[in-house]
Amino acid sequence: MESKEFDAVVIGAGNGGLTAALALTYYGQRPLVLEQHNVPGGFASSFVRGRFEFEPSLHELREYGPDDDKGEIRKLFESHGVYGEFYPVPDAYRLIIPGEIDVRMPFGIEAYKAEMERLVPGSSVPVEKYFQLCEDTINGFAYIGASGGNPDPEVLKKEHPNFLKTNPYSLGEVLDAIKMPKRAQLILSAYWCYLGLPVSKLAFSPFAAMFLTFIRRGAYLPKWRSHQFTNDLAMAIEKKGGKILYNTKCSEIVVENGGVAGVRTSQGDYIECRHIVANTSMHQVYNELITPKSEVPPRAYQNLNARNLGMAGFVVYCGLNKSVDELGITDYSYFIYPKSTSEETYQSFQQMGKDMGIAVTCLNRVIPDASPEGTCIFEITTLFESSVWDNVKDTDYHRVKTEIGLNLVRQFERSTGLSLEPYIEEFEVATPATFANYTGTWGGAIYGYQASVWDSVMPRLLSLKEDQYIKGLLFSGGYAFKIYGYAATLSSGDTAGKLVMLAKFAELEEMEAQNE
C-alpha cells in the first residue's frame, strides 16, 4: 500500500466514520477507513440466529421522514446515492408504569398535543409552551450549525433567547418551570432512556431536539436492519474512490510537533496523513493510540477526566414461534418503567435487579415479513453502569446474563399480561462485554459521554476548536460533539468530514500566501 495515496484516514466504520468518509469523497478526496471488524456498521449491523435476523441496536431512526417531508438523515443518505426500503413506525411509543400509567402516544404534533390533553386535562397551555421551546431549541442549533460553530452572541440573544435561557438547565427543571403537571411530565419524558440520564440530570436541549424531530416526522426502520444502510454507505465510499480495510485496527496515531503525521495499522502498514477522523472515544485515542505520549497536552487529559462515561447496553433478542397477532403484541415500541420517576428507574441500572427500566420493540409490527410467517422478532433493551459487571466472574457469566434476560422477558409479561416465554425459539443476550468485544467500546458503553447539562451538545459545539488538542485530529460518532443516537452519529460524521475540508482549504490558502 502506498503511504501517500490517501487524503485522510478515518478510524472506525461505524455510523460517524462512514458518513465522514463519504463527506470527504464528495469533495473529491480519497479517504482510507480502518475497521477492526469484518463488516461495516459497528453497532449498526445485524446477526442471524436460526431462522431469525436480528437488529443489534437500532430502535427507530429519526430525521428520515416521508417523501413529502424528508429529514436531515434521509437527505444525507440520498445526497450520496444511498437509498433503501424504509418502513414508518406507526406510533411514537407505549408507556407503561405498572399501576399508574399505560398510554399510547401518536406521532404528529397536533395529534400528540390532543392526546396529551385527553390524558391530562388542563395540560394544553404548558404543553404548548413545551413544544415552542423544543422548536426554539432546534432553531438555535440550526443557527449555530450555519455559523460554523462561531455564532454571533448578539444574534443569539436577539433571535434565539429561549434557546439561551433553557441551555443551562435540565429537562426536569424546564418542565417544572413551565408548570407542567407531573403526570404529563412522565408521559412527555418517556424518551429519556434513549439518552441514558434521568430528567433531573439530562440536558434539556438535546432531549428537546430529539423529541420534536421524532414527533414531527415520525420514525423509520430499514427493512434489512441497520446493516442495510451501513453496507450501502460502505459501498458508496468505495464506489467514489475511498477504501475500507476490514479486520484492520489503527494501532498508533503518530503525532509530530502537535500535528497528525500518520497512522500505523495492525497489519504493519504506515500511512502518512495530516488529517484523521476518529470514530471512537477520546479516551481510547489519547490514552492508547497517540504516540509519542508527550504529544498529548495535559489539557486533553483534564477534559477526559471531567467527563462521565455513558451507560452500557444489555439486549435480549428473542425469536418467537408465534405471530404478533397470536401473541397479542399490539405495539412496536414500549417503554416500561418500574418506578414513578426517572430518578428511581435510573437506580435500577446500578444493580442486577429483576425489574428494570426497559425499552421493548417488536420488529414485525413495523415490517410484517421481518421473520418467517407465523413467527416474530422481539427485543428488550436495558442499561447498566458498566462497573456493575465488573464483579461477574467468568464462570458465572452465562448463567447471570441468561437469568437477567429471562427476568426482563417476565417483567414485560407481568406489565402487559401477555405470555411470551413458552414461545421462545431463539434466545440470545448481548451484555456490556458483548458490545465491548465487537466494537471496542470501553465497558460496553453504547451512549458515549453523558449528555449532562455542562457537557451536552451546546457546550461541545462552542468549545469544538478549543478541544482540538492535536492539529488534524477530529472526532465523530457517539463520543463527539452531537452526542449519541443514530441520527446524531450519522450527522456528526458528515460534519467532521466537512471540517476536514475546511482545514484543508485553510492550509491551501496559507501555502498560497507564503508563496506570494
- The residue extents of the domains of the chain are 8-69+72-83+224-307+449-515, 106-216, 311-442
With cut-offs at 50, 70 and 90, classify the pLDDT of residue 145.
confident
Measured in degrees and rounded to the nearest 5, phi and psi for residue 408 equal: -70, -40
Residue 100 pLDDT level (bands cut at 50, 70, 90)? very high
- Which amino acid, one-letter code, is at 384? F
> Residue 110's pLDDT band (boundaries 50, 70, 90)?
very high
Locate cell 443476550: which residue?
429
CATH code for residues 8-69+72-83+224-307+449-515: 3.50.50.60
Q: What is the tens place of the pLDDT at every residue in 451-505?
A: 999 999 988 988 888 889 999 999 999 999 999 999 999 999 999 999 999 999 8
Q: How many other C-beta atoms lie within 10 A of the C-beta of residue 350?
A: 12
pLDDT at 52 over 70: yes
Amino acid type, 397? Y
370 C-beta neighbours (distance < 10 Å), count: 22
Q: What percent of the chain has pLDDT over 90?
A: 90
d(CA 216, CA 356): 29
pLDDT recorded at residue 3: 56
SS3 state at 236: helix
pLDDT in tens, 222-260: 999 999 999 999 999 999 999 999 999 999 999 999 999
CA distance 400 to 432: 13
How much is the pLDDT for 416?
98
Question: Cβ(86)–Cβ(157) under 8 Å?
Answer: no
32: amino acid identity, one letter: L
- Within a 13 Å sphere around the CA of 43, how many CA atoms are in the beta-carbon half? 29
Instruction: Return all residues near 138 (Cβ < 8 A) that are at least 6 apart.
Output: 208, 209, 212, 213
Query: Residue 458: CB partners within 8 Å, gap ≥ 6?
Result: 141, 144, 167, 203, 205
DSSP conformation class of 386: G
Buried b (16+ CB within 10 A) or exposed e, 131-142: bebbbbbbebbe
337 pLDDT above the threshold of 90: yes
Q: How many residues does the chain have?
A: 516
Res 509 pLDDT > 80: no
For residue 107, count other CB atoms closer than 10 A to its CB: 18
Mean pLDDT of the chain: 95
Residue 287 is given by DSSP the state I
Rounded Cα distance between 511 and 508, Å, is 5
pTM of the model: 0.95
Q: What is residue 4's predicted lDDT score, i.e. its pLDDT?
A: 65
Q: What is the pLDDT of residue 399?
A: 96
CA dist., res. 310 & res. 480, Å (int): 13
Report residue 164 as a C-alpha cell: 439561551
pLDDT, mean of residues 343-354 = 91
Residue 1 — pLDDT band, cuts 50, 70, 90?
low
Q: Tell me which residue has cell 447498566.
A: 384
Closest CA to 476 of 494, 503, 455, 464: 494
pLDDT band at residue 273, thresholds of 50, 70 and 90? very high
Grid coordinates in use for 117?
390533553
Return the residue matching grid coordinates 420514525. Answer: 219
Query: Which grid cell sits at 486?
Result: 443514530
Average pLDDT over residues 70-77: 98
Quick one: pLDDT at residue 147? 81
**Residue 41: helix, strand or coil by DSSP?**
strand
Q: Is the pLDDT of residue 2 over 60?
A: no
* Of 279, 280, 195, residue with least CA distance to 452: 195
- Candidate from 3-7, 184-188, 311-315, 426-430 with smallest mean pLDDT: 3-7
Q: What is the mean pLDDT of residues 151-177?
A: 95
